[in-house]
């Protein structure tokens, strides 16, 4: 059986799309090839790496990629995780099914270090649930 190619798209490919990539890899496993990209590249946010590590997932090796790098890949699913990415999402030829969920940007959180980390954890929880549901709703992704 052929693996499904999933692209998670965000504005800067630093937080939300990186977290989603980590969870989709976990839940879809060998049934998928998961990529993430941004309209711009801001580098992987250290706080995103830290909150994923708390949940046992290492995304420290992830890179921040620009959508232009993936022009030659035919995706099955494209998930935009912020409204900005949805509005500026390039046209993908082929059969890519598009999905969208506007997650809050934890990088915009303010307050004490602990308050900011709590926002990262809250958004991580939302993305984890979304990714788990996304995989469970697709027979071609269930391990």
* Closest to 128 in 3D by CA, of 53, 27, 6, 37: 27
| Residue of 6, 7, 8, 10 with catalytic role | 10
Catalytic residue among 89, 96, 116, 126: 89
The yes-or-no answer on residue 82 being catalytic is: yes
For tokens 């059986």, what's the residue?
A: 1
- Find out whether 34 and 127 touch, Cβ atoms under 8 Å: no
* Range list of β-strands (E), 50-129: 77-80, 97-100
Q: Annotated catalytic residue: which of 82, 85, 123, 135?
A: 82
> What ranges in 37-100 are assigned the alpha helix state H?
46-54, 83-88
- 15 flagged as catalytic: no
Active-site positions read 10, 82, 89
């Amino acid at each position: 059986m052929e693996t499904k190619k999933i692209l998670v798209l965000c504005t800067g490919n630093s937080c939300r799309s990186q977290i989603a990539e980590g969870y989709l890899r976990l839940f879809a496993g060998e049934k998928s090839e998961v990529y993430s990209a941004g309209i711009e590249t801001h580098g992987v946010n250290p706080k995103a790496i830290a909150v994923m590590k708390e949940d046992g997932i290492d995304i420290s090796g992830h890179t921040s990629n620009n959508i232009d790098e993936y022009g030659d890949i035919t995706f099955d699913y494209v998930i935009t995780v912020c409204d900005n990415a949805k509005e500026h999402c390039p046209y993908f030829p082929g059969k890519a099914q598009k999905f969208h969920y506007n997650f809050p940007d934890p990088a915009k959180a303010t307050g004490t270090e602990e308050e900011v980390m709590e926002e990262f954890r809250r958004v991580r929880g939302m993305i984890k649930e979304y990714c788990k549901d996304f995989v469970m709703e697709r027979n071609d992704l269930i391990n």
